[in-house]
Structure 1
């Protein structure tokens, strides 16, 4: 049977396919690390990004949060609402822009971030440990791709 031409001998030589497989495996590790905290991965990313952004100045807007996390603004808004309903985030009017909301972690949100971040960083360390002394180069390559 004739099929498409490929410059690669198989999927084990395709960077995109391998990235897909690694991503799925890593996501399973993240789900397991976040399950005890009752957080999805996107919830964790948005909570933790809120914390990181607030450390460098005033509480971020939803737009700044979406840009930092690389998430769609509409999806970010929906997840932020759910996190606010759970009492983990507070949405406050931005004094400089009536259309914008500033986000602040609540005490409960900060406690969840502290515990979840410890577990996620431990899962990351375990997952990427097999790279050994190549880990810094891998992170640099990911930075270039992102």
Structure 2
């Protein structure tokens, strides 16, 4: 006879990890649905948004800056940026002071698609999280707290 398996949680709905996984899958599906018409993946959108955000303060945004902003693996960022360059959403130029780095800039097409993506993603987020109602800001603060507690150095 098989040994009885012991669970810490009495049901899947008591497990925050399980619930987070389910929520993430549903949220990613929603994001894919709104980004597909723009020819963007969720990862490409995140990196474009990071570049757009960083470009507001800095004229010389590098791949490392984008990776740090997005809390992303540098090799993955490099690969995705190559794809975004092929799609003509970004350009790479020589860095004025660091010969090893390239300055990453949004092209006119990149600015246009990023603005469209931001509008659709923000609306999708509002709809997706509408079940939280007035508790949305508390939910966001709690997520930030969990992120900060578990961030790797």
**TM-score, with length taken from structure 2:** 0.92
1:37-95 deviations in Å (ceiling 9; x for gaps):
01000000111110000112223110110111111100100000111111100111111
Whole-Å separation in 1 of the counterparts to 2:123 and 2:47? 19
Q: Which runs of 5+ in 1 are unaligned?
A: none
State whether structure 2 residue 90 is matched by structure 1 residue 89.
Answer: yes
Does 25-34 or 88-97 show the bigger shift?
88-97
Aligned residues: CA RMSD? 1.0
Q: Which runs of 5+ in 2 are unaligned?
A: 148-153
Equivalenced residues, count: 146
Whole-Å separation in 2 of the counterparts to 1:39 and 1:70? 19
Contact 2:60 2:95 in 1 (8 A): no
Residue 20 of structure 2 corresponds to which residue in structure 1?
19
**TM-score, with length taken from structure 1:** 0.96
State whether structure 2 residue 44 is matched by structure 1 residue 43.
Answer: yes
1:141 deviates by 1.0
Contact 2:47 2:70 in 1 (8 A): yes
State whether structure 2 residue 105 is matched by structure 1 residue 99.
Answer: no
Residue 141 of structure 2 corresponds to which residue in structure 1?
140
